[in-house]
Amino acid sequence: MSAHEPVGGRLLTKPFMVFAVLAMIGFAILAARFFFGLGAVTNLNDGYTWGIWIVIDIMIGTAFGCAGYSVALLVYLLNRGEYHPLVRPALLAGLFGYTLGGMAAVIDLGRYWQIYTLFMPWYAQFNSIMLEVAWCVTAYTIVLWIEFTPTFLERFGLKNLRQKLSKVLFIFIAVGILLPTMHQSSLGTMLVALGYQVSPLWQTQWIGLLFLVSAILMGYAIVPFEGILASMGLRRPVEGELIARLSRIMFVVLAGYLIIRFADLIARGALGLAFAGDLDAVMFWVENLLFVVPLLLLVQAGNRSSPRMIFIAAISLLLAGSVYRINAYLVGYHPAGGGWHYFPSVPEMLVTVGIFSLEVVAYLVFVKKLPVLHRA
Amino acid sequence: MALNRRDFLKIAAAGVGAAGAADTAKALQRGPKPMPPEALGMLYDSTLCIGCKACVAACKEANDMPPEHTGQAEAIWDTPVELSGKTLNVIKVYQDGDMEQKDREVNGYAFVKRHCLHCVDPSCVSVCPVSAMTKDPLTGIVEHHADRCIGCRYCVEGCPFAVPKFEYNEAFGQIQKCQFCSHLQAKGQIPACCDVCPTGASLFGKVSDLSEEARRRLAGQAGERYVFTRGELGGDRPPHEAKLADYIKDIYGEKQLGGVQVLYLSAVPFEKLGLPTNVPEYSYAAIAEGIQHTLYKWMIAPAVLLVGLLYVVRRNLGRRGEAGNESGADQSSDRGQS
Ligand code: SF4
Ligand code: SF4
Ligand code: SF4
């Protein structure tokens, strides 16, 4: 018997319809991309060749998807079994974050029909961090689906298969911890090759570590974010006690992140740029204030047991990690040669909105129809 | 559950570790790459260039590239202002004040030619996941192979000279960049731009010879008569005689970013020509690869980590009495344990 159950209820609610329509609009626009090229839909140009489809859909999307990874770290590595009810919802966030991130990658690839070369060993170029990211993300997406399989098997009553899978599941859990550790840091290290084109406020050899730790933080933040939203939207009880404990862990990791971030800036003598008064500097402070707000909120023990405060802290953290990625790859990136500008076009943004909407739609279907959430 | 002092000390220790970042920078870097043994390249002397753009037209013809209409859509002639998916080679101009005199920084102007510099340690080759950018081990020419490229455009972001460009307005676009006319060289010819250049501003040759030639020009006195070769260094075309310019006493490209095979001479500071000067003497590829190689050498670290993870995860699952019954806990008994 499972400790999880489908939420049930009507599927075609108003929010569901709104998100479904948004998703359809996004995909309708995509047709133009395939018929007329990337330029027909996006504002990408010869200076900024990576736009929001890379930075938001892939980098931020998969960081949101780190929920499964972050909770797995707690439950399976630190053996904090009490967090177990959070595993399945977190895995679900990971499942969608990564699946849709992978989809966005294919959409953005200029020569997507040749994607098979990525997986032909004789073409592999092992110095490429992109190659490692591509392999890791693909493998992890598969692992996430396998880790989530018990949910399907339970739903369809396939006990036998479920038990067989259980015997080897620990392998997938372990691999599922290894892979994000590798590629979430590599998503940051990819920036190193861009060299002087990225402002020293973000360009550092430690960016891999910073991307990894901030992704873990975003993964933790997704849990209360999703949990509290679900409790409001689906009228479910909040896992209050658990989320309170989780917030303490968030606090410790966050303090560690900020110490590394600023120690590195000071060691490289780059902090002065934060007072240059330009857009880079402003965005640097926006980013770091968004990191500091949850730190100040969570330092008070009282707040750590208030779902409302935790919710605010979680949103601030999610924004902070997102702005960090946008800063590193877009705001702080000044392409060689100069004179280029980029701001996403409306259709480009609608595609991103569409992809996130598809995520929400899929989430609603899954939690309503499959045993994902812990029995109330 | 309040945070205690021990927690803070732990975090602080991690921070101190990061502060040591600057020292480890060098340790993480892989060594520089040597100039290929028979490296071919170009010497572009900005002071000889008259901005005729014969090289731009010849490049288009040799590589079968379409014309580009910048600004006025009505224009019937080719007017590229930057490298793009349609333009592999472009002449740009530096201008200051009333532009009275050529090759002068103040109130002057100067030309600069832009295309692939065929780096000694090319970032584009280092970042490409599918070996669609290659560097010839003998001649050092960096070539793009569209037949395997996935269009990720990491090379576009990674090139420190903003060279590779993508065709954004094609349903099936590709990366475009100067291939040093490898198809002409295969037939025993020289790159089209050097072939047509009337002044020898674009000069083809072996990199070692070209850098000697550059040094000879720098050693002379400004205003002195000098015999300039055209087309190919050591070729048999008639040279021409002109006065030596008042050069900046430096050859751009010998050291910058690990070295390049297209060298530049100029009388105005190189940064005015848009060449990055505030850069290290090693390629950024050397740092990126250094970090990756340290972490992933022979995949030892990930393998060790995986073995450790397998062990810990299995043990922890067993401890909670749910071994082999995992992912999302079936027992409600697993609540409240720690
Ligand atoms: S200039 Fe750019 S494209 Fe050319 S070899 Fe160097 S890194 Fe590659
Ligand atoms: S766009 Fe093509 S050539 Fe450039 S890095 Fe990607 S796969 Fe390689
Ligand atoms: S052909 Fe020679 S002189 Fe004319 S623009 Fe090109 S490099 Fe300059």
Note the pLDDT tens digit of each residue in B236-251. 899 999 999 999 999 9
Note whether B335 and B217 are same-domain residues: no
CA distance B257 to chain A (A): 10
pLDDT of amino acid A14: 87
Kindly tell me if the per-residue pLDDT of B36 is higher than 60.
yes
Note whether B317 and B199 are same-domain residues: no
Ligand 1: centre distance to CA B276 (Å): 13
Note whether B274 and B306 are same-domain residues: no
Lowest mean pLDDT among B186-200, B268-282, B293-307, B322-336: B322-336
Output the domain CATH number for residue A270: 1.20.1630.10
Q: Tell me: the pLDDT tens digits for A85-142?
A: 888 888 898 999 999 999 999 999 999 999 999 999 999 999 999 999 999 999 999 9
- Partners of B262 in the beta sheet? B42
- Give the residue, out of B40, B114, B123, with the most ligand 1 atoms within 8 A of its beta carbon, to mutate for a pocket test: B123
Interatomic CA distance for residues A364 and A18, integer angstroms: 12
- How open is the CA angle A49-A222-A88, to the nearest 5 degrees? 115
Strand, coil or helix: B258: helix
Is A37 within a domain? no
Among protein residues, the one whose CA lies closest to atom 6 of ligand 1:
B119
Ligand positioned closest to the Cα atom of B193: 3
Q: Please report, for chain B, how many H helices and E strands are present, in that order.
A: 10, 12
Q: Who has greater pLDDT, B156 or A246?
A: B156
Note whether B243 and B118 are same-domain residues: yes
Mean per-residue pLDDT, A136-154: 90
Q: Who has greater pLDDT, B332 or B211?
A: B211
Is A258 within a domain? yes
Lowest mean pLDDT among A14-23, B75-84, B215-224: B75-84
Ligand positioned closest to the Cα atom of B163: 1
Q: Of all residues in chain A, what percent are helix, strand and coil, respectively (each to 5)?
A: 75, 0, 25
Q: Who has greater pLDDT, B289 or A376?
A: B289
Is B254 within a domain? yes
Q: Cβ of A178 and B2 within 8 Å?
A: no
A157 φψ region: left (φ > 0), alpha (ψ -120 to 50), beta (else): left
Kindly tell me if the per-residue pLDDT of B209 is higher than 90.
yes
- Partners of B232 in the beta sheet? B204
Interatomic CA distance for residues A211 and A60, integer angstroms: 11
What chain A residue is nearest to B313 in terms of C-alpha separation? A76
- In the structure, what pLDDT confidence band is assigned to residue B336 with cuts at 50, 70 and 90? very low
- In the structure, what pLDDT confidence band is assigned to residue B26 with cuts at 50, 70 and 90? low
Kindly tell me if the per-residue pLDDT of B105 is higher than 90.
yes
User: CB B14: neighbour CB atoms within 10 A?
Assistant: 17
pLDDT of amino acid B15: 46
Contacts 24+ apart (CB under 8 A), B95-103: B96/B272, B102/B47, B103/B46, B103/B47, B103/B245, B103/B246, B103/B266, B103/B267, B103/B268
Mean per-residue pLDDT, A80-84: 79
Interatomic CA distance for residues A6 and A375, integer angstroms: 9
Note whether B304 and B279 are same-domain residues: no
Q: Who has greater pLDDT, A4 or A182?
A: A182
ipTM of the complex: 0.93
pLDDT of amino acid B23: 43
User: CB A156: neighbour CB atoms within 10 A?
Assistant: 11
Q: Are B192 and B184 in contact (CB under 8 A)?
A: yes
Note whether B109 and B168 are same-domain residues: yes
Instruction: Identify which of B125, B150, B167 has the shortest CB distance to residue A114.
Output: B150
Q: Cβ of B174 and A301 within 8 Å?
A: no
Is B5 within a domain? no
The model's pTM: 0.90
Among protein residues, the one whose CA lies closest to atom 3 of ligand 3:
B49
Q: Where are the beta strands (DSSP E) in B81-212?
A: 90-95, 101-102, 108-114, 133-135, 142-144, 165-166, 175-176, 202-206
Q: How many domains does chain A have?
A: 1
Q: Domain range spanning residue A212?
A: 44-342
Kindly tell me if the per-residue pLDDT of B324 is higher than 60.
no
pLDDT of amino acid A246: 86
Q: Cβ of A255 and B152 within 8 Å?
A: no
Atom of ligand 1 lying closest to residue B125 CA: 8
Interatomic CA distance for residues A132 and A13, integer angstroms: 41
Note whether B322 and B195 are same-domain residues: no
Note whether B204 and B159 are same-domain residues: yes
Instruction: Indicate the length of chain B as a whole number.
Output: 338
Q: Cβ of A148 and B327 within 8 Å?
A: yes
Is B32 within a domain? no
Kindly tell me if the per-residue pLDDT of A279 is higher than 90.
yes
Q: Cβ of B319 and A204 within 8 Å?
A: no
Note whether B310 and B181 are same-domain residues: no
Q: Tell me: the pLDDT tens digits for A191-250?
A: 999 999 999 999 999 999 999 999 999 999 998 888 888 777 777 777 777 888 888 889
Note whether B253 and B315 are same-domain residues: no
Kindly tell me if the per-residue pLDDT of B6 is higher than 70.
no
Which of B161, B275, B313, B331 should be substituted to probe chain A, the one whose Cβ sees the most A Cβ atoms within 10 Å?
Answer: B313
pLDDT of amino acid B335: 35
CA distance B39 to chain A (A): 23
pLDDT of amino acid B187: 95
Q: Domain range spanning residue B336?
A: 299-338
Q: Tell me: the pLDDT tens digits for A43-54?
A: 999 999 999 999
Q: What is the greatest pairwise CA distance in chain A?
A: 64
Among protein residues, the one whose CA lies closest to atom 2 of ligand 2:
B149
Q: Are B198 and B204 in contact (CB under 8 A)?
A: no
How, if at all, do strands B90-95 and B108-114 pair? antiparallel
Q: Cβ of B123 and A193 within 8 Å?
A: yes
Mean per-residue pLDDT, B304-319: 85
Instruction: Identify which of A35, A88, A123 has the shortest CB distance to residue B171.
Output: A35
Kindly tell me if the per-residue pLDDT of B17 is higher than 60.
no
What chain A residue is nearest to B322 in terms of C-alpha separation? A166
Q: How many domains does chain B have?
A: 2
Chain centre to alpha carbon of residue A21:
23
Is B75 within a domain? yes
Is B13 within a domain? no
Note whether B101 and B250 are same-domain residues: yes
Note whether B139 and B83 are same-domain residues: yes
Mean per-residue pLDDT, B90-99: 94
- How open is the CA angle A332-A297-A224, to the nearest 5 degrees? 85
pLDDT of amino acid B319: 67
Kindly tell me if the per-residue pLDDT of B114 is higher than 80.
yes
Percentage of chain A beyond pLDDT 70 is 99
Is A348 within a domain? no
Among protein residues, the one whose CA lies closest to atom 8 of ligand 1:
B124
Output the domain CATH number for residue B71: 3.30.70.20
pLDDT of amino acid B144: 97
Q: Which string of b and e fits B39-71 if b means at least 16 CB within 10 Å?
A: bbbbbbbbbbbeeebbbbbbbbebbebeebeee
Q: Tell me: the pLDDT tens digits for B173-197?
A: 999 999 999 999 999 999 999 999 9
Backbone angles phi, psi at A305, to 5 degrees: -115, 10
pLDDT of amino acid B333: 35
- Partners of B166 in the beta sheet? B175
Q: How high does pLDDT run on average in chain A?
A: 91
Q: Who has greater pLDDT, A312 or B335?
A: A312
Is B176 within a domain? yes
- Partners of B135 in the beta sheet? B142
Is A351 within a domain? no
- Partners of B110 in the beta sheet? B94
Q: Tell me: the pLDDT tens digits for A242-272?
A: 888 888 889 999 999 999 999 999 999 999 9
pLDDT of amino acid B73: 59
Show residues of chain A in contact with B296, CB under 8 Å.
132
pLDDT of amino acid B154: 97
Strand, coil or helix: B81: coil
